Amino acid sequence: MSRRDELERNLAAVRERIAHACEQADRDPGDVTLVVVTKTHPASDVELLADLGVTDVGENRHPEAADKQAEVAASGASLRWHFVGGLQTNKAGAVARYADVVHSVDRAKLARSLDRGAEAAGRTLRVLVQVDFDTTDPGRAGVPPSDVRALADVIVGECRHLELGGVMTVAPLGQDPEPSFAHLREISADLARTVPTATTISAGMSEDFEVAIRHGATHVRVGRSVLGQRPVLQ
């Protein structure tokens, strides 16, 4: 089977799963955006995905994301690029030049760096606050639920080149994702009451996106179910 056929088959299966989850949740599938996470996979895969109708792709590392974005843009394909990984402050300026949405803002310093980068690039960057619901592992990315409002205030109040787009989470490893996704939806509703642009709920990966859709996810980030296992990083 060609790579194109493989991706087409996997995409069809994922879209079917999304449609089924939406039906179960009485939601319109048009309200759920599939972000295909292409990290570690080559630009040629991204080009095939664009050809197969994918509009949104996700990456988690700079400069891999920058290189791929440039290569794909040169091929003529037009996509929205979502930066979904942990981000060092000193790389924020570079990411602000090519990302359309950054899902992983979890500290004021990073927000301010992205804001300066967006200003320098002459653009407005949509950002999400990453929320962490895991109380057992302090090393994880994301702010605890109680700190979302304070970070949102910095983004809305101080960062004129950022648009607060909503919230994102990665469910705690090895735990039932349901309570996290349910809580994220409450946080989102609270935020949206005062920030009209904060409409995005980014939640759910290959293993758990049906649960996320049941809890209002507007963006699901799916890697392996579309692209297969990732090559082992050297």
Contact footprint for ligand PLP (CB under 6 A): 37, 39, 60, 84-85, 170, 205-206, 221-225
Q: How far is the CB of 74 from ligand PLP (least distance, A)?
A: 25
Q: Which is nearer to ligand PLP, 191 or 212 (CB)?
A: 212
Determine phi and psi for 56, rounding to 5 degrees.
-135, 130
Cβ distance to ligand PLP smaller for residue 85 or 117: 85
Shortest separation between residue 160's beta carbon and ligand PLP, angstroms: 27
Question: Nearest residue by C-beta to ligand PLP?
Answer: 223
Least Å from the CB of residue 135 to ligand PLP: 19
- The continuous run of DSSP H or E covering 83 comes out as strand 80-83
Please state the closest distance from residue 37 (CB atom) to ligand PLP, in A: 4
CA separation for the pair 21, 10 (Å, rounded): 17
Quick one: angle between helices 148-158 and 178-194, nearest 10? Answer: 40
Q: Is the dihedral of CA 176, 209, 140, 110 positive or negative?
A: negative
Q: Which is nearer to ligand PLP, 46 or 222 (CB)?
A: 222
Give the residue with the Cβ less far from ligand PLP, 156 or 203: 203
What is d(CA 165, CA 125) in angstroms, rounded to the nearest whole number? 9
151 vs 205 by CB, closer to ligand PLP: 205
Tokens of 112: 């301010």
Least Å from the CB of residue 116 to ligand PLP: 24
The span from the CA of 66 to the CA of 48, in Å, is: 18
